[in-house]
Amino acid sequence: MGIFARRFADNEGVVLLVGEWVPAWLGMSVTFLVAALGVVGLGWWVLRKDKMNRAAQEAELAAADTTSKEAHH
């Protein structure tokens, strides 16, 4: 018995389930796609709200400046 025959003799009862790789690959691909879309969507949401908050803050500061420039009696 050669070195290769002894190495593979232990694996005689193992069945290589090649057909399970395709569903597993598809499942992991879909999982990665959903995760990536979630990260992009969350980033978009945060940047959109940040833009709205900055615009509101600038409007508030502009309103405060106009009230402070009014003539006092």
pLDDT tens by residue, 1-54? 455 555 666 667 777 777 888 889 999 999 999 999 999 999 999 999 999 999
Give the pLDDT confidence score for residue 68 in this predicted structure: 63
Give the pLDDT confidence score for residue 19 in this predicted structure: 80
The domain locations on the chain are 39-65
Give the pLDDT confidence score for residue 67 in this predicted structure: 67
Give the pLDDT confidence score for residue 18 in this predicted structure: 74
Give the pLDDT confidence score for residue 5 in this predicted structure: 55
Give the pLDDT confidence score for residue 7 in this predicted structure: 61
Collapsed DSSP state (helix, strand, coil) of residue 10: coil
